[in-house]
């Protein structure tokens, strides 16, 4: 076969796996939204069968043979950069699927179910001792997995690379130390500022049908295309899909309208990314998001950078009041804006505000890093967790269910995943800095609700390149600078000193 024929055969094989994964994702969406309560057993059969077939497709030895023959072809240099990148991504995935012994894959899957069940029970009983052995095992299995993937690299770097390609523990340590230095004193200033917000109106009753209308209206305002998407409800909001069918979910609380409002903006940001990937890359390895951190930069761009800005509410508050009738008619712009930007150090990451959120993530990262280096042990975790919460956030943790056991990630074996949440903030503040230079009328666009040019900028710079670059390289292309925390810290200081008056 010629080089081009080899390449086409390989891409065709990969396309099949991608389509199977799309089917898997759609079944997953149905499982979370509309599946009848007794459909679980049947669904798990469908999941298991699909997963086995996908694994078979992705570990087919022909893939290795084709990759070899392409790489050794004398005409290899004639391939385009995009084609070479596709090959790189296929090889990376193939290695990930084939380097780990089947027994270990099975053991990880089996242990994940046990660990999550035990975590639920231990969390309910506030009993860390119960969870501890499962956590130890989860960590050990992930270390083994990392060793098989690359025995020459630090295991934590191998795990990080799965979620944030090419990012290392050393790079994140530097970034997060800078963040900590900037944010800890800022939070202290905010907490002692005389101008504190009145948030009482946030708990006024706002009926679900009104909130549903708001969610649809906001989706239209930010150009989340509902002809290629939809909004449903689940316990925990999420986004799933690809190009022409990207769905989001939210959760309506009648006495916390801001919850669904901002989760819709957040998930719409994720969905907009998927809807605007380059059409040319569809069904190719290139046609996927660059990383979880870049994904999070887009969700937070719409949720925070736009969604919690004074300019946006100058435009949207009148429309919001129209849609909500007389519920919030007495609330003026200043009061509204300050309440939705209320900074309050808390114990729980998922409900944390824009400023304190990164510190929750930094705590998990430092613990993961030190665990992987053997500097701390699983036995010491509650103590270390509680010390860090006190030191960084000034918060006292009374029991482990709202401390070290609050997130499901570690039970699920997700080590190296957490940092991507805070990287999203670092990336989006840097994108914000550049977009304001390149679109000098940015503020005016937001103030008038004309978000199209902003979406077009994000699409050109962030969405369309898809997986052409690793996240750090993509950010370098967009900003002409290495990744740094300066812009996020500056953004926070400017915004919150104005709100809180210091
Ligand atoms: Zn997100």
Q: How confident is the model at residue 489 (pLDDT cuts 50, 70, 90)?
A: very high
User: Mean pLDDT score of the chain, rounded to an integer?
Assistant: 96
Lowest mean pLDDT across 10-19, 36-45, 70-79: 36-45
In 3D space, the residue among 498, 436, 468 whose CA is nearest the CA of residue 165 turns out to be: 468
- 354-375: pLDDT as tens digits: 999 999 999 999 999 999 999 9
CB-based neighbours (< 5 A) of ligand 1, an ion: 299
- 388-404: pLDDT as tens digits: 999 999 999 999 999 99
What number is the average pLDDT over the span 63-89? 97
The reply to whether 246 and 339 lie within a common domain is: yes
- Looking at residue 419, its pLDDT comes to 97
The reply to whether 187 and 141 lie within a common domain is: no
Mark which of 117, 151, 185 sits at the end of a domain. 151
Q: How confident is the model at residue 109 (pLDDT cuts 50, 70, 90)?
A: confident
The reply to whether 221 and 365 lie within a common domain is: yes
What number is the average pLDDT over the span 226-232? 98
The reply to whether 227 and 319 lie within a common domain is: yes
Q: How confident is the model at residue 376 (pLDDT cuts 50, 70, 90)?
A: very high
- Looking at residue 136, its pLDDT comes to 97
Assess whether pLDDT exceeds 90 at residue 160: yes
- In sequence order, which residues have a C-beta less than 8 Å from that of residue 168 and are 6 or more positions away? 154, 157, 160
Q: Does residue 267 have an active-site annotation?
A: yes
Q: How confident is the model at residue 44 (pLDDT cuts 50, 70, 90)?
A: confident
* Contact call for residues 199 and 335 (beta carbons, < 8 A): no
What number is the average pLDDT over the span 95-122? 92
Assess whether pLDDT exceeds 90 at residue 102: no
Q: How far is the CA of 263 from the centre of ligand 1 (A)?
A: 9
- In sequence order, which residues have a C-beta less than 8 Å from that of residue 466 and are 6 or more positions away? 277, 278, 281, 286, 287, 288, 289, 290
Q: How far is the CA of 104 from the centre of ligand 1 (A)?
A: 30
Q: How confident is the model at residue 1 (pLDDT cuts 50, 70, 90)?
A: confident
Q: How far is the CA of 86 from the centre of ligand 1 (A)?
A: 26
Given the residues 91, 164, 267, 303, select the one marked as catalytic: 267
Looking up residue 392, the CATH number of its domain turns out to be 1.10.1370.30
- In sequence order, which residues have a C-beta less than 8 Å from that of residue 101 and are 6 or more positions away? 148
Q: Provide the residue range defining the domain that includes 89.
A: 3-151
In a domain, 49, yes or no: yes
Q: How confident is the model at residue 244 (pLDDT cuts 50, 70, 90)?
A: very high
């Amino acid at each position: 076969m010629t080089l081009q024929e080899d390449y086409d055969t390989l891409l065709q094989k990969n396309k099949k796996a991608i389509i199977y994964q799309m089917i898997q994702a759609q079944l997953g969406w149905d499982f979370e939204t509309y599946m009848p309560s007794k459909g679980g057993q049947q669904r798990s059969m469908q999941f298991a069968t699909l997963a086995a077939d996908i694994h078979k497709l992705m570990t087919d030895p022909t893939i290795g043979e084709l990759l070899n023959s392409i790489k050794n072809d004398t005409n290899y240099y004639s391939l385009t950069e995009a084609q070479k990148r596709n090959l790189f991504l296929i090889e990376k995935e193939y290695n990930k699927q084939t380097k780990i012994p089947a027994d270990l894959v099975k053991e990880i899957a089996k242990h994940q179910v046990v660990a999550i069940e035990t975590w639920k029970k231990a969390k309910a009983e506030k009993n860390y001792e119960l969870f501890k052995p499962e956590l130890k095992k989860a960590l050990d299995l992930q270390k083994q997995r990392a060793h098989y993937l690359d025995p020459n690299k630090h295991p934590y770097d191998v795990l990080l690379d799965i979620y944030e390609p090419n990012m290392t523990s050393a790079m994140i340590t530097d970034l997060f130390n800078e963040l900590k230095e900037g944010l800890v004193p800022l939070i202290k200033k905010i907490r002692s500022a005389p101008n504190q917000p009145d948030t009482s109106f946030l708990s006024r009753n706002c009926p679900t049908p009104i909130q549903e209308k708001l969610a649809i209206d906001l989706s239209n305002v930010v150009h989340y295309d509902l002809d290629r998407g939809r909004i449903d409800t689940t316990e925990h909001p999420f986004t799933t899909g690809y190009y022409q069918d990207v769905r989001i979910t939210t959760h309506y609380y009648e006495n916390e309208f801001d919850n669904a409002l901002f989760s819709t903006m957040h998930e719409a940001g994720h969905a907009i990314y998927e809807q605007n990937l380059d059409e040319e890359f569809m069904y190719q390895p290139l046609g996927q998001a660059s990383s979880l951190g870049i994904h999070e930069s887009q969700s937070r761009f719409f949720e925070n950078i736009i969604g919690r800005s004074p300019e946006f509410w100058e435009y949207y508050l009148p429309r919001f009041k129209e849609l909500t009738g007389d519920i919030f008619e007495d609330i003026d712009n200043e009061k509204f804006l300050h309440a939705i930007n209320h900074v309050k150090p808390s114990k729980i990451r998922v409900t944390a505000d824009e400023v304190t959120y990164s510190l929750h993530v930094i705590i998990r990262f430092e613990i993961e890093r030190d665990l992987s280096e053997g500097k701390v042990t699983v036995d010491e975790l509650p103590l270390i967790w509680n010390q860090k919460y006190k030191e960084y956030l000034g918060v006292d943790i009374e029991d482990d269910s709202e401390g070290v056991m609050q997130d499901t990630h570690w039970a699920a074996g997700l080590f190296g995943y957490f940092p991507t949440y805070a990287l999203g903030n670092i990336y989006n503040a840097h994108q914000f800095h550049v977009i304001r230079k390149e679109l000098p009328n940015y503020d005016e666009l937001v103030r008038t609700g004309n978000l199209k040019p902003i979406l077009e900028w994000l699409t050109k710079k962030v969405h369309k390149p898809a997986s052409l670059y690793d996240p750090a390289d993509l950010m370098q292309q967009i900003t002409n600078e290495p990744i740094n925390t300066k812009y996020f810290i500056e953004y926070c200081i400017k915004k919150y000193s104005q709100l809180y008056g210091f």
